[in-house]
Amino acid sequence: MNFPTRLILVTGADGWLGINLIKALTQGLPDCKSLAQPDPNLKIRCLLLPGHDPKPLTQLSPNVEIIYGNLCNPHDCEKFCHDATGAILFHTAGIIHPQRVRQFYAINVQGSQNLLNAAIATRIKRAVVVSSNSPCGCNPHINHYFDESSLYNPYMNYGRSKMQMELLVKAVQESTPLETVIIRPPWFYGPHQPPRQNLFFKMIRDGKGPLVGSGKNLRSMAYVDNICQGLILAATSKKANGQTYWIADEHPYSMEEIINTVEQLLATEFSQKCQYKRLKLPNYVSEIALLLDQIIQSLGLYHPKIHVLSEMNKNIACSVDKARRELGYSPNIDLEEGMRRSLAWIFNNQGTL
């Protein structure tokens, strides 16, 4: 790895993506030859919420420094960015499934604004900001893939909050010396996954893997190391300044393929007794869930399971051609290998689903 600085800042460092990024920065990405060797002199400053356990991060390397704070507090952002002139900032923090809709905007938008203000003030060199597929919504048909020219069509309040975040990043790029790059990963998977991902695997094992409609609808997914590769390339490439990139696996997968792959691995490689059944639901179930989701969010509330169900029959697929062309991005881990590693992490660290 060849960073133009010896100091890296990471928000959301103990989150699903964040901890994998810290691991990549301190131990390298063995599946990516150009990024396989870490820089032993790199110092990594991590922002954690007060009360969060630093050990999963500090055990990775003695070069990890912990700063406690909240993005919603401008003074905490200033403390985090203090004395970081010329550093690279990875902004992976955000909220996906809050209790209240207002948290989308407080954290994803205002929190990002507070962080970028602090980064500008301390003359950080570049901010690589993690967005989502949600600002672009759902593909209009199964043969359509999003690319960087796709127009905004945000999916619900999460999508709107990420769209607003992207717009403020673009405004910073145009009006300040801070270099910025926006990274859009779709549904990602891999080690250190949260309980909701474990539940998805358990449902598949127990014959309740949800297929809404035909199951042929396409979903782009991104194995965490593929995302980390994209983030690091975005931080180190001159061409990336001011750009937006979709970062995902090489091609999208059908929902049927995703469930079949997980089920096959559980049965053949992890000695799980699978029921080989599906929870098959008609398309209108997702459309009803979408209506309920809209009503619930209009009241300022949020229900994660209803929200996820509303997306289950949708096509959400993207092209990574621009990242390949400009960054040299090469998503080496595919669905089968990535899910194999995901499941291995669960059974090695938790013992069971």
3-state secondary structure of 322: helix
Q: What is the pLDDT of residues 63-104, one digit of tens each?
A: 999 999 999 999 999 999 999 999 999 999 999 999 999 999
Q: Flag whether pLDDT at 120 surpasses 90.
A: yes
Q: What is the pLDDT of residues 266-297, one digit of tens each?
A: 999 999 999 999 999 999 999 999 999 999 99
294 in a structural domain: no
Q: What is the CATH number of the domain that holds 35?
A: 3.40.50.720
Q: What is the mean pLDDT of residues 190-203?
A: 92
282 in a structural domain: no
Residues near 185 by beta carbon (within 8 Å), at least 6 away in sequence: 17, 130, 132, 133, 222, 227, 230, 246, 247, 248
Q: Which domain holds residue 150?
A: 7-193+220-250+316-327
Q: Percent of the chain, pLDDT > 70? A: 100
Q: Residue 132: which pLDDT band, with cuts at 50, 70 and 90?
A: very high
260 in a structural domain: no
93 in a structural domain: yes
Q: What is the mean pLDDT of residues 136-162?
A: 98
Length of the chain: 353
36 in a structural domain: yes
122 in a structural domain: yes
Per DSSP bridges, beta strands 88-91 and 218-219 are unpaired
Q: What is the mean pLDDT of residues 312-328?
A: 98
- Model pTM above 0.75: yes
Q: What is the pLDDT of residues 206-244, one digit of tens each?
A: 999 999 999 999 999 999 999 999 999 999 999 999 999
261 in a structural domain: no
Instruction: Report the domain count for the chain.
Output: 1
